[in-house]
Amino acid sequence: MDNRPIGIFDSGVGGLTVFKQIRKELPNENIIYLGDTKNFPYGNRSREQIVDFAMENAKKLIDKNVKMIIIACGTATSQAIDVLQEKFDIPIIGIIEPTIQYVKEQNIKEIGVIATEGTIRSGAWEKKLKENIEDIKVINKACPMLATIAEEGKAESKEGRKAIKEYMEPFKKNRINKIILGCTHFPIYDRIIKEELEYDVELIDTGITVSEYVKKFLMEKNLNNIEDESRESIYLTKPEKEFKNIAKNIMGMDIEIMNI
């Protein structure tokens, strides 16, 4: 048993979609969430910048005595996870590997991926999918505006819907019915994407695949917390006026937000 908290970081509010699923799957676990609002967005940054941000976030969480770190950010996972895993001794899990495992288990042979510009540019999703699943067809689409629109609380605005309409074109054209939401902000658009596509589609939420992976990992390593009471803390690197309202919409409850 280990009652130290799980640490989660993201560039902003999107990682709360992972936080929500971790809390649902692991109700006894203590959780510390860090939103790097000071450096948001990550999607248009250089790899060197993203690695620096990820290193700093990891250090802040380790200072809080976390037992593991979840990188709840597609861009940071694609660009920095190898560096962090080499640098730090505690387990560090990103959103890509658990999701690839799910796709493989489901025997999916044709899939779409939507993510930030930086993540798509890195080729991380397509590379990992093709390394693990023979003959899989991957259609990628960079969606540079979605994280920012979500962070501003405007996902359901005309601006948000217009962006979704544009970004869904290649999937609609090819009737792709499995799409990985490769940025943790994107589950916020779940309903809007389904309305735009107008056919049955599975939107693969990395928060769900990660939470199931983490549950199994903690049990296998005997790191799970069996105490009944759990605590959660949310820290931001810069105050963000829309964060609290968006967090409440995602989590379905008020959570105190602190600066770090």
Half-sphere exposure of 90 (CA within 13 A, CB side): 20
- Secondary structure (3-state) at 37: coil
Measured CA to CA, the distance from residue 184 to residue 73 in angstroms comes to 6
Measured CA to CA, the distance from residue 22 to residue 118 in angstroms comes to 26
How does 177-212 read in b/e, with b if 16+ C-beta sit within 10 Å?
A: bbbbbbbbbbbbbeebbeebbeeebebbbbbbbbbb
Within 10 Å of residue 127's Cβ, how many Cβ atoms? 13
Q: Which residues are catalytic?
A: 73, 183
